[in-house]
Amino acid sequence: MTNSLRVRLLWWLLVPLAIYVFVTGKAAYDNARHTADLVQENTLLASARMIAGEVEWSDSRLLVDVPPAALEVFASPQGDQVFYNVSVDDGRLLAGAPDFPTLPAAGHDEPDYYDADLHGKSIRAVGFVRQMYDNGAIRRVLVSVGKTQASRDAMFRELWRPQFVRQIEMVLLAVALACIGLTFELRPLLKVKEEVMDRDPMQLEPLRVERLHTELRPIVEAINQCIARLGLQVAAQRRFIADAAHQLRTPLTLLETQLQFARQHRDMEPSLSETLAAMQRSNRSMVGLTNKLLLLAQAEAADYTQLAKQKVDLAAIAQDVIEDLAMFAQKREIDLGAELADSAWIIGHEALLSALVYNMAENAIRYTQQGGHVTVAVARDAGRVTLTVTDDGPGIPAEARSRVFEPFYRASADTEGTGLGLAIAKEIVQAHRADIALRAREHPARGLIVAVEFASG
């Protein structure tokens, strides 16, 4: 059997209902036939009795005058045909159709009912005997009345059909109501499904159970427990990365000091001096990587509900970052410009937002060729604050644009970098419930626009 809840429920409903309808329908059918037969037989007998009541002696001869009322009792819209036969036991016909299929006159007074054929029509008939006494002689007069079955069939139909139709209607109504009811009642479950589907992969809040039926709650509660355990797991992992990065910083800082000290030695062989310098460069990039890992862990752990308490001016933050990067831009001969609103207040975390602007601007300066232009802009309009960094460098090909947000993904191998900058930026943006987008520039047709849109605070 199919696995659909709707179909299964319908089977549970339909099979017992069909059996019920069949059993009650059969009983109603038999009952109706019995009633129609009874009514017909009563009328036949009444008519036969009426005719028999009119049989009388006249000059030692039996005579009968069939009263019209005896035949009128059969009047019906179906126009049944009525036949009768009154005959004496010596074979003499007193009235009626001579070819009427009579029964042999039985000795008792009980009426006999029987089916017969007359003129090619099937009829139901009664045979009723009246004893007539005359001077010690007994004559038995057999009155037989028969009629075609049209009115009896009509009555039979009228008795059982409406009831049967009503029951079929009831079954159909029950099926329709079950389908509609189930569709309505399953809606909350579909809502849960949509809620789960629409979720961000890292969104680990529990699903809402208030609107759910008592029967469905345990399922969603079990899912919620699973989400909670997953949340703990993810938090433990993030803590581990943050702790590891933090632990690495101390020996790396120490190493830096030691290398600096070692390089101060005079009379060193030039090759050794070169090795030490290379070691110092490697150590610095290790420090850079460790710091970025720590920042990524911090950004991942940042929670909007905690950020919500602080208001920061994004324009002021951007101004500070531009000042920090001025030297780097100068070194790379990049024209670093700013288009900042007077103030742009948003809800957020100052250090994280500073890292966001830094990563975006640093990328633009680093990947744009010498003599290029980079502009950092903060604009405020209609309840939104937009941060954009525009450059006229090589840009990012469309197919790589979604991948550059992945940790350690790098589109250009010829420059130094860890591949964490945009992954951190994305986490920071998500923690602020904002959106980040990469767009190709149209005028001029080279370069990149990175835009982040915040709700203003």
Residues lying near ligand ATP in the complex (CB under 6 A): 292, 359, 363-364, 367, 391, 393-396, 404, 410-412, 417-423, 448
Q: Which is nearer to ligand ATP, 312 or 422 (CB)?
A: 422
Q: 127 or 421, CB closer to ligand ATP? A: 421
From the list ligand ATP, Mg ion, none, pick the one residue 420 interacts with, judged by a Cβ distance below 5 to 8 Å according to partner type.
Answer: ligand ATP
Closer residue to ligand ATP (CB): 126 or 389: 389
Decide: 371 and 379 in contact? Cβ < 8 Å: no
Which residues between 330 and 369 bind Mg ion (CB under 5 A)? 363
Q: Which is nearer to ligand ATP, 82 or 364 (CB)?
A: 364
As measured in angstroms, the least distance from the Cβ of 448 to Mg ion is 12
User: Do the Cβ atoms of 319 and 340 come closer than 8 Å?
Assistant: yes
Smallest distance, Mg ion to C-beta of residue 412, A: 10
- Nearest Cα to 333, choosing from 393, 249, 423, 408? 393
Asked if omega into 444 is within 30° of 0 (cis), the reply is yes
Listed residue (246, 239, 234, 231) closest to 287, CA to CA: 246
Report the SS3 class of residue 418: coil
Shortest gap between Cβ of 367 and ligand ATP (angstroms)?
A: 4
Could you tell which of Mg ion, ligand ATP, none binds residue 429, using a CB distance below 5 to 8 A set by kind?
none
Task: Work out what residue 292 binds among Mg ion, ligand ATP, none; the CB cut-off runs from 5 to 8 Å by kind.
Answer: ligand ATP
Site for Mg ion in 11-50 (CB under 5 A): none
For the four alpha carbons of 428, 434, 439 and 443, in that order, the dihedral sign comes to: negative
Neighbours of 12 (CB within 10 A): 11
CB-nearer residue toward Mg ion: 317 or 355: 355
Q: How far is the CB of 363 from Mg ion (least distance, A)?
A: 4
Residue with token string 């159970």? 209
Beta-carbon contacts of residue 262 (< 8 Å; ≥ 6 apart): 276
Q: Tokens 């007069």 sit at which residue?
A: 141
Minimum distance from residue 249 beta carbon to ligand ATP (Å): 17
**Chain mean position to CA 349:** 40
Q: Indicate the residue among 394 and 457 with the shorter CB distance to ligand ATP.
A: 394
- Of ligand ATP, Mg ion, none, which one sits near residue 96, judging by CB under 5 to 8 A according to partner kind? none
Q: What is the Cα–Cα distance from 14 to 8, expressed in whole angstroms? A: 10
CA–CA distances in Å: residue 222 to residues 3, 194, 207, 216: 22, 18, 10, 10
Nearer to ligand ATP, 329 or 411 (CB): 411
We find the least distance from the C-beta atom of residue 454 to ligand ATP, in angstroms, to be 20
Measure the CA angle with vertex 71, ends 68 and 73; round to 5°.
110
Q: Which residues pair with 381 in a beta bridge?
A: 384
- Minimum distance, C-beta of residue 421 to ligand ATP, in the bound complex (Å): 2
Indicate which of ligand ATP, Mg ion, none lies near residue 394 (CB less than 5 to 8 Å, by partner kind).
ligand ATP
- CB-wise, 25 or 394, nearer to ligand ATP? 394
Which pair of tokens denotes residue 119? 């003129």
Q: How far is the CB of 234 from Mg ion (least distance, A)?
A: 25
Q: How far is the CB of 268 from Mg ion (least distance, A)?
A: 35
Cβ distance 418 to 427 under 8 Å?
A: no
Tell me the window of 63-71, 148-156, 268-276, 419-427 that interacts with Mg ion (CB under 5 A): 419-427
In the structure encoding, which two tokens stand for residue 111, read together?
């009426």
Return all residues near 298 (Cβ < 8 A) that are at least 6 apart: 242, 352
Near Mg ion by CB under 5 A: residue from 421, 425, 449, 454: 421
Counting residues that bind Mg ion (by CB under 5 A) gives 2
49 neighbors 119 (Cβ within 8 angstroms): no
Nearer Cβ to ligand ATP, position 127 or 417?
Answer: 417
Residues lying near Mg ion in the complex (CB under 5 A): 363, 421
